Structure 1
Amino acid sequence: MLLLLLFLGLILTLIYWGINRYLWIGFFVACALAYSLWWPQASWLGAAMLWLIAAAAVFILGLPQLRRQFISRPVFLWAGKILPELSSTEREALEAGTVGWDGELFSGDPDWQSFLDTPKPSLSSEEQAFIDGPTEQLCQMLDDWRITHEHKDLPAEVWTFIKEQGFLGMIIPKSYGGLGMSALAHSTVVMKISTRSITAAVTVMVPNSLGPAELLMVYGTDEQRQHYLPRLACGDDIPCFGLTSTQAGSDAGAIIDQGIVCKRSWQGQDDVLGLSLTWSKRYITLAPVATVLGLAFKAYDPDNLLGDEPELGVTCALIPTDLPGVNTGNRHWPLETPFMNGPTSGEDVFIPLDYIIGGSSGIGRGWSMLMNCLSVGRSVSLPALSTGAGKLACLTTGAYSRIREQFNSPIGYFEGVEEALAPIAALTYLMDSARVLTVSFVDNKEKPSVLSAVLKYHNTETMRRVVDHAMDIHGGRGIICGPRNYLANAYKSVPISITVEGANILTRNLMIFGQGSIRCHPYLLQEMQAIQNDNPELGLMDFDQALFAHLGHALRLKVRSVWLGLSCARFVFTPKNSVAATKPYFKQLTRLSADFAFVSDVTLALLGGELKFKERTSARLGDGLSYLYLASAILKRYHDDGCPAEDEPLMHWSMQYCIYQLQQALFATLANYPVKYLGGMLRFALFPYGRCYSLPSDSLDKQAAAILLSQSVSRDRLVAGVYRNEDPNDPVGRVENAFALTLAAAAASKKIKAAIKQGKLHPLNDTATLAQQAVAGEILSTEEAELYTQALAAVDDAIQVDDFEKDFFTKG
């Protein structure tokens, strides 16, 4: 029995560490030899069993030709019958983008050392100068109340400044007249502008994220690049991109807009080969002012002018909006946020083939183009805007909570307000960490399609929570609109951010895990591609390799998950440069990565193609992958910042939040498992001690909230990139000025309150009288009294709200 336990223990240990197939063969043969030749109590039955195991190992691991014939072929044929055929659009979506760190997290054994060793992303001196110069100037020009309620648009001088300074061509290379910025710089610019005006931020971000420039740079012909990119860079052309069709909505593959291959007269030439386009799009940002329209449509060739295929697939083209038949100019009104957005339509609009992005060779490649390029834009724009809203909430809500007093105490010190302040601070820390990590991948030439979906969903949803908390704390100060209000437009923009670039319900329920499970899994996509290979024998060879690698991977995941659960991950190695504060998190994330990967593997094997109809299962597993990624971003950010002790509350709070949400996602998946008893077995195997992670404590809430209530390097790091000033006539500057004066006068205020309590001063006296009496009674110095008076006047001004004449809203 002891020998058997030793043998099984060795097997489990080797499975845990994942040795290769030749070492497995050597191990089993060595065990059989050792037992047969040198073990004193060896029995013929035991020896026979060991040699049988060794023979099976040789057969399965060492003779792939025989294994393919007798094991893999039947499985290959069976899988080919049950797996659904992938459509061309599904295949292109699955193959779009790249897999990097998300694949590591999905493996169940992420390489934390390599992750931490990647260089910290940083801005170049030129990029920093642009942010400190033109971006700062632009923010100074923006008056959000006038933009939203008077102009219903950006003022003409702002449009001119945006064009002249190159904001519309940030991603366009310098060789074409653009700024050639990194994704980090692009993100930082959008984030800063968004803290001043959502309208201006959207105007700047769309040409750099969802406009034709990215498509042209990657897929355009030389002639198209030479013509359009310089014009886009300087603002001579304003771009938009028409994807969302009236009937299709978020199902971009179902667009009914079409282009029919035909011959027409064109610019004095007869029988020019081109397309007759008919479309109806809506929700197209910049469409009312666009001079060039990027258009996605389905191309058809009924007369076989280009070949034998009548259906050519999704295609993208560039349409000058002054062509006959093009209709633009009308506007949508998205929740009173007046960025230019509207419908566009066209009826029998003829374009030659060289208007197609990539020329005639680009016909039918539009879906692939969009999937690859959208993954880049989705990584940058909305995550930056969401983070900007979080930083603005941190800056203003922390200041407001400190200056606003109730019951003779700043409201920020009330436990109920601390409960709301803590997530404002820590979730903004989370959003910013994920933003920076993701754009660093983009700058390293990755196209993180899965991670971009994670970030789009979670940053916009987290923005919703953060801004809601900020509005709750501000109360009436937050809901009364007017020039003084700095939160209302961020609040209104939340559902816009959640809706655009794919509705969040779709993103969470179908995209993150639905796409991620196949793209990020080490072997699943290889197996699917092998099954659908046009050459069955080549497909079988590829399938055999992927299948047995997959089986070994699944076995290792099972052993690792059970052991890590039993040991609570105490014996997991952590990166050599990790610190005491983060080591426990690296251990627990390693455990949860293995748990997530194992549950995913079992679920995929159980449901197969049915997974696409089990949206809530897909959504919960998507949450698991998401929180693994978000937690890893927090750890990377904390280490990149040099592990500052003053930031520990933010790191601990956001890490505990992510780990708890990851645990909840796995428990919810297993509690609603398609096979109930299997879900229970998996839950017991992975979490033998039950739920072991909890949300941040009240004490940690207090520490995280305190960061927003005082001036500190931690607060400055948290709100870095927000537009800041202390101008008492500016919406944000007003509360920042009052905050600075309140902190400076804190000692004087404390003396006044103590004197009132002792009966030396009367509480009903006005501020000026109190100050005079305090000086006369030698409670305050003259300088202290003046500072105290200034602080109270600034606070009184900062907490005021706007009011208007009763006929203000009916004038004009």
Structure 2
Amino acid sequence: MLPGLLMFFIGLAGLFALAMYRAPLIAWAAAVAGYTLALQLGLGEGTLHPPVFPWWAWAGWAFAGLLFALTFDPVRRSLIAEPAYKALRRALPKISETEREALEAGTTGWDAELFSGTPDWDRLRDLPGVTLTAEERAFLDGPTEELCRRIDDWQIRRELCDLPEDIWRFIAEQGFFGMLISKEHGGLGFSPQAQSLVIGKISSRSADAGVIVMVPNSLGPGELVEKFGTDEQKSHYLPRLARGEELPCFALTGPFSGSDAAAMRDVGVVTMGEHEGRETLGIRVTWNKRYITLAPKATLLGLAFRLEDPENLLGKGTDVGITLGLIPTRHPGVEIGRRHAPTGCAFPNGPTSGKDVFIPIDWVIGGAEGAGRGWPMLMSCLAAGRSISLPAVSAAAAKSMLRHTTAYARVRRQFGLPIGYMEGIEAPLAELTETAYTLEAARGVTAAMVSQGQKPAVISALLKYASTERMRKALEAAMDIHGGRGICDGPTNYLQSAYQMMPIGITVEGANILTRTLIVFAQGSIRAHPYLLTEIEAVQDDDRKAGFRRFETAFNRHISFMLSNVFGAAFHNVTFGVFADSPEDAGLTKRWYRQLARGTRSFALVADMAAALLGGGLKKHQRTSGRLADALTELYMLSCLIKRYEEDGYQPEDLPLFEYAATASLQRFDAALDAALSDFPVPIAGPILRQLVFPFGFRRRAPSDADAKEIVRAVLQPGRLRDRITANVFQTDDPVYPTGLLEKAFLSVVANEAAERRLESAIRKGEIMRNYETDWIGDAESKGIVTPDEAGRLRETEDLVARAIAVDHFEADALSPAARHPDSQNSTHQYAAE
């Protein structure tokens, strides 16, 4: 007979199994009845006897009976579904039309798997790797490389405050402005993966040039016309945009409607008016916009405004909704051309306004049919900026900072050794290495999703926020390590351009503060949750009968989902994830799949409870929402890391870096959940959830110092690892370029390391004196410390290093405003009107 303790654990295991695998109620009823009967018969005591009926037996049979009764729809409906439906209908705030359109825009994919708690690994593994067509690779290695070599970043940022005309012309003539426009309409028709890599490579050479190429290939007239324009708009504008004959900008943000586009005060009124000498149906629109990139040079203005139709001339009611228009900037009444000066950057950015400007209805994107459809159009296209452009810039910045900073940390010596070997420098170098590896992984995976036709609304917001924040940290680490070399601007400073541009990436396409606290989780918990959006829509359905039927189906499944997460999270956290699901052929990544599966169970539990307990109040509890956004971010980053390591072919030299990044991601995930539960807005729920998520009261540890040293020493050496994790950014060892000079010095230092060590040893022993008045290398040669050949190479290395670490300096009056190019504020986009 079974001992009582074993009987207890068998029952507990059965309970866990039923919950984790979402067993139907009839199975629960049968299990409770069977377990109660077994206890009554004395199976747990080792002796079989006639059934007894103490209080717990009556309770067990009553509970089994209740579960059995709940298998009948009328009983379950009256006891559970109807009270829940009525309570939620009273409690949930009405979803506005703009909120509904934002929630319905885009698609869900891997984000829904993370919210599910039981991810389908095939959805991640079936995504293609970072692959380009032969044409795309030729463009990246050809025109993109040539553009990078032509650029003089100091001239752009300081002397002209603009791109030179020959660079503008080269960009237009080579088709950079038409990468997302289809070949059918004269563009390059490149994949999102190719667009991402091209934008990233240009940005690694010049942040300003990167922005100028990025904007027409991001949210703007090109993509909007391609997807939603009329046939006439497509045939007229797309070839001109692709050839650079039209330079577009898109005006959405106004003084009173930044992240809250629903508060837009720019209004158009449908009316009859005169255009080109004849009476026509059109719109009289007034607007005031700011922060519009490319506006000072644009020839075509994309404009978002609220459309009113007091006479219902369009047949869509009086309040038509947000509408998008296409307005040539030379059109009478358009005020445009003045510039903002964002953090010393040179890309054109400025305001635009107009008062009672009449435009024909044909200038609405999509024509009259497109009136009022502007918000869905914007939401549909928003993935380009959030999923492609800004992550591309962030990943490229981190990779280029890693390449330059590792070279600098190797050639710059203090206290007789390269500063990269000092433990104080190792810490930020390790963080920089992890950031570059992780951001490139996330960039590649997300671009692959978009290339497959997905429009990942939640992931795009998550990645925009996470990538630009991590870019900030990468740039700060690079600046800290470079010290004075980084903060003194000049023609040879290769950090300033990216550093000055950094706050812009954090601010645009949805400011990071609001993206983190209001969008990623607050919208994601509804959009990517398997049942919540259906329940909300059903509760708010005006047809209560039909709405209740939809609600009941979703709610019943939601209960099983909730129970599954409670028991699944408890089980996997108690067993440290060793029984969690993973692909059969995972190999070296198997344990990381299991930890990811364990993490998704915990996240799904906490996310579901937060949504259920806070409901519409989730928007108010933005600290909790932000912390859960951080947790979701780490799950996504870990997914991308696993995907990248597999796609790269399980490279042995990458394994320490992969495991370092994965460990750091899991540690940050635990910290985010811990912070969310520590101050959970519902006091009783926080401690209960904590016991399920952290049953042993501790979190995962961060990577060790030894792990950090291992990966830093690896990237301080030239070779396949360093080249692979910094691929697809501008690289050269041509000393004409500041970064080329640094790279050449780095290679020379490593190649002559043995001779340098002997020389340093002799200097420390006092055998040779090193100062500006002595030829210490010649002394070392004469004393046989180094050979004549080594002495020659050491002199060359010394010269390269001295030039690479030199800091720019100027005549006193050279930095005055008058020293700048006198026409820098008046340059025009000459060829755009040709």
Give the alignment's TM-score, normalised by structure 2. Answer: 0.93
Please say if 1:714 is aligned against 2:721: yes
Instruction: Give the structure 2 partner of residue 663 of structure 1.
Output: 670
Q: Which residue, 160, 167, 170 being the options, matches 1:158?
A: 167
Instruction: Give the structure 2 partner of residue 456 of structure 1.
Output: 464
Change (3 A) 1:21 1:233: farther
SS, match of residue 523 in structure 2:
helix
- Matches of 2:362 and 2:472, distance apart in 1: 44
Q: Which residue, 96, 114, 129 being the options, matches 1:120?
A: 129
- Matches of 2:493 and 2:770, distance apart in 1: 31
Instruction: Give the structure 1 partner of residue 781 of structure 2.
Output: 775
Specify every segment of 5 or more residues in structure 1 that has no aligned partner in the other structure, as ranges: none
- Matches of 1:684 and 1:554, distance apart in 2: 16
Instruction: Give the structure 2 partner of residue 187 of structure 1.
Output: 196
SS, match of residue 309 in structure 1:
coil
Q: Which residue, 340, 359, 372 being the options, matches 2:348?
A: 340
- Matches of 1:569 and 1:88, distance apart in 2: 42
Please say if 1:209 is aligned against 2:205: no
Report how far residue 76 of structure 1 moved: 1.2
Q: Which residue, 416, 419, 437 being the options, matches 1:411?
A: 419
Instruction: Give the structure 1 partner of residue 359 of structure 2.
Output: 351
Q: Which residue, 495, 505, 518 being the options, matches 1:497?
A: 505
- Matches of 1:286 and 1:577, distance apart in 2: 49
Instruction: Give the structure 2 partner of residue 85 of structure 1.
Output: 94
SS, match of residue 545 in structure 2:
helix
Instruction: Give the structure 2 partner of residue 245 of structure 1.
Output: 254
Instruction: Give the structure 2 partner of residue 129 of structure 1.
Output: 138
Report how far residue 94 of structure 1 moved: 1.1
Q: Which residue, 446, 452, 455 being the options, matches 1:444?
A: 452
- Matches of 1:220 and 1:55, distance apart in 2: 61
Report how far residue 284 of structure 1 moved: 0.3
Change (3 A) 1:715 1:42: farther
- Aligned-partner residue type, residue 234 of structure 1: R
Q: Which residue, 618, 622, 626 being the options, matches 2:625?
A: 618
- The question of whether the paired residues in 1 share the 8 Å contact of 2:110 and 2:123 is answered with no
Instruction: Give the structure 2 partner of residue 471 of structure 1.
Output: 479
Please say if 1:486 is aligned against 2:488: no
Please say if 1:807 is aligned against 2:821: no
Kindly provide the CA deviation profile for residues 168-192 of structure 1, in whole angstroms up to 9, marking residues without a partner as x: 0001111111111111100000110
Kindly provide the CA deviation profile for residues 456-506 of structure 1, in whole angstroms up to 9, marking residues without a partner as x: 111111111111111011111001110010001111111111111111111
SS, match of residue 514 in structure 1:
coil
Task: Report sequence identity in percent.
Answer: 45
Question: After alignment, is 71-80 or 340-349 more displaced?
Answer: 71-80
Change (3 A) 1:648 1:150: same
Report how far residue 760 of structure 1 moved: 4.4
Instruction: Give the structure 1 partner of residue 566 of structure 2.
Output: 558
Please say if 1:107 is aligned against 2:107: no
- The question of whether the paired residues in 2 share the 8 Å contact of 1:210 and 1:240 is answered with no
Kindly provide the CA deviation profile for residues 704-724 of structure 1, in whole angstroms up to 9, marking residues without a partner as x: 221331101110011101101
- Matches of 1:562 and 1:90, distance apart in 2: 35
Instruction: Give the structure 2 partner of residue 231 of structure 1.
Output: 240
Instruction: Give the structure 1 partner of residue 440 of structure 2.
Output: 432
Instruction: Give the structure 2 partner of residue 381 of structure 1.
Output: 389
Report how far residue 106 of structure 1 moved: 0.9
SS, match of residue 275 in structure 1:
strand
SS, match of residue 188 in structure 2:
coil
Specify every segment of 5 or more residues in structure 2 that has no aligned partner in the other structure, as ranges: 820-834
- Matches of 2:229 and 2:50, distance apart in 1: 73
Report how far residue 313 of structure 1 moved: 0.9
Please say if 1:740 is aligned against 2:747: yes
Please say if 1:763 is aligned against 2:773: no
Q: Which residue, 46, 53, 60 being the options, matches 2:70?
A: 60
- Aligned-partner residue type, residue 179 of structure 2: M
Q: Which residue, 126, 133, 149 being the options, matches 1:140?
A: 149
- The question of whether the paired residues in 2 share the 8 Å contact of 1:277 and 1:349 is answered with yes
Report how far residue 131 of structure 1 moved: 0.2
- Aligned-partner residue type, residue 70 of structure 2: I
Change (3 A) 1:42 1:193: farther
Report how far residue 643 of structure 1 moved: 1.6
Change (3 A) 1:779 1:512: same
Instruction: Give the structure 1 partner of residue 831 of structure 2.
Output: none
Report how far residue 212 of structure 1 moved: 1.2
- The question of whether the paired residues in 2 share the 8 Å contact of 1:376 and 1:448 is answered with no
Report how far residue 21 of structure 1 moved: 5.7
Question: After alignment, is 190-199 or 567-576 more displaced?
Answer: 567-576
Instruction: Give the structure 1 partner of residue 733 of structure 2.
Output: 726
SS, match of residue 701 in structure 2:
coil
Equivalence map 1:63-78=2 (5 Å): 63-78=72-87
SS, match of residue 547 in structure 1:
helix
Change (3 A) 1:232 1:659: same
Kindly provide the CA deviation profile for residues 621-679 of structure 1, in whole angstroms up to 9, marking residues without a partner as x: 11111111111111111111112121123212221221111111111111111233431
Instruction: Give the structure 2 partner of residue 539 of structure 1.
Output: 547
Instruction: Give the structure 2 partner of residue 170 of structure 1.
Output: 179
- Aligned-partner residue type, residue 774 of structure 1: A
Instruction: Give the structure 2 partner of residue 282 of structure 1.
Output: 290
- The question of whether the paired residues in 1 share the 8 Å contact of 2:16 and 2:571 is answered with no
Report how far residue 346 of structure 1 moved: 1.1
Instruction: Give the structure 1 partner of residue 822 of structure 2.
Output: none
- Matches of 1:476 and 1:33, distance apart in 2: 78
- Matches of 2:211 and 2:316, distance apart in 1: 43
- Matches of 2:316 and 2:205, distance apart in 1: 55
Please say if 1:689 is aligned against 2:696: yes
SS, match of residue 271 in structure 2:
strand
- Matches of 2:30 and 2:455, distance apart in 1: 41
- Matches of 2:88 and 2:123, distance apart in 1: 36
Please say if 1:518 is aligned against 2:526: yes
Q: Which residue, 582, 585, 588 being the options, matches 1:577?
A: 585
- The question of whether the paired residues in 2 share the 8 Å contact of 1:68 and 1:541 is answered with no
Instruction: Give the structure 1 partner of residue 271 of structure 2.
Output: 262
Report how far residue 215 of structure 1 moved: 1.3
Q: Which residue, 643, 668, 674 being the options, matches 2:681?
A: 674
- Matches of 2:742 and 2:228, distance apart in 1: 48
- Matches of 2:122 and 2:95, distance apart in 1: 37
Instruction: Give the structure 2 partner of residue 18 of structure 1.
Output: 22
Question: After alignment, is 16-25 or 464-473 more displaced?
Answer: 16-25
Q: Alpha carbon RMSD of aligned pairs, Å?
A: 2.2
Change (3 A) 1:282 1:765: closer
- The question of whether the paired residues in 2 share the 8 Å contact of 1:399 and 1:708 is answered with no
Instruction: Give the structure 2 partner of residue 789 of structure 1.
Output: 795
Change (3 A) 1:75 1:42: farther
Report how far residue 377 of structure 1 moved: 2.5
Question: After alignment, is 207-216 or 191-200 more displaced?
Answer: 207-216
SS, match of residue 565 in structure 1:
helix
Report how far residue 534 of structure 1 moved: 2.5
Kindly provide the CA deviation profile for residues 112-160 of structure 1, in whole angstroms up to 9, marking residues without a partner as x: 3552344323111111100000000000110000001111100000000
- Matches of 1:705 and 1:38, distance apart in 2: 63
Q: Which residue, 315, 318, 326 being the options, matches 1:307?
A: 315
Q: Which residue, 363, 369, 377 being the options, matches 2:377?
A: 369
- Aligned-partner residue type, residue 438 of structure 2: L
SS, match of residue 809 in structure 1:
coil
- Matches of 2:21 and 2:318, distance apart in 1: 54
SS, match of residue 676 in structure 1:
coil
- Aligned-partner residue type, residue 73 of structure 1: E
Change (3 A) 1:517 1:738: same
Q: How many residues align?
A: 808
Q: Which residue, 585, 599, 603 being the options, matches 2:606?
A: 599
